[in-house]
Amino acid sequence: MHYRRARRGTRMDAPSLHSPLPERFWRKVSKAPDGACWEWLGSKNCGYGHIRDSGSMRKAHRVAYELVIGPIPEGLVIDHLCRNRACVNPSHLEPVSQKENIRRGVSVVAVKMALTHCPHGHPYSGENLYTNRRGWRYCRTCMRRMNRERKRRLRNTCE
């Protein structure tokens, strides 16, 4: 084995895939003092760290959580409280539902979920709220107004 690694030009002290996962994992982490982010130094995809485990790739922040805190509860995902995708500091990671993770984000969906009123100032609550099958929210007052205007236009084009 070592002969082949030397011929390939691989360092002899480089972690092999036969090393235990925790050993390989912690070699690729840059721990910062004072509760700052622990930066993942290994391979990344879309900013998230990845590490090979038992023949498949796993996200590094999920491995960090499992190594330090324990198993991730069923049906939950890991949210980066620090918003740094390469961070593997377990104190910056929290298991939450997928919906909560999206709500905490900065995407268009998160911004729309945070809205409490439609663009015309009507509340997204109670009888005024309509939610379709896809989960999109609509203002019933504005929907009624748009339907009246559409019907009026259709009547005027048929005459």
Bigger pLDDT: 73 vs 16 = 73
Task: Record the tokens describing residue 46, joined without a space.
Answer: 């879309």
pLDDT of residue 15 exceeding 90: no
For position 19, what pLDDT does the model report? 84
Residue-wise pLDDT for 63-120, tens only, equals: 999 999 999 999 999 999 999 999 999 999 999 999 899 889 888 888 888 889 999 9
Task: Go through 52-68 and write b for each residue having 16 or more CB atoms within 10 A of its CB, e for each that does not.
Answer: eeeeeebbbbbbbbeee
Residue-wise pLDDT for 23-40, tens only, equals: 999 999 999 888 899 999
For position 16, what pLDDT does the model report? 59
pLDDT of residue 51 exceeding 90: yes
Task: Indicate yes or no: pTM above 0.75.
Answer: no
Q: What is the 3-state secondary structure (H, E, C) of 67-134?
A: HHCCCCCCCCEEEECCCCCCECCHHHEEEECHHHHHHHCCCHHHHHHHCCECCCCCECCHHHEEECCC
Cα gap 84→80, rounded to integer Å: 7
pLDDT of residue 10 exceeding 60: no
In 3D, which of 93, 89, 20 has the Cα closest to residue 53? 20
Cα gap 30→41, rounded to integer Å: 7
Bigger pLDDT: 54 vs 80 = 80
The average pLDDT across 53-71 equals: 95
Task: Record the tokens describing residue 53, joined without a space.
Answer: 């485990």
For position 6, what pLDDT does the model report? 61
* Amino acid identity at 36: A
Question: What value does the CA radius of gyration of the chain take, rounded to a whole number of Å?
Answer: 25
pLDDT of residue 139 exceeding 60: yes
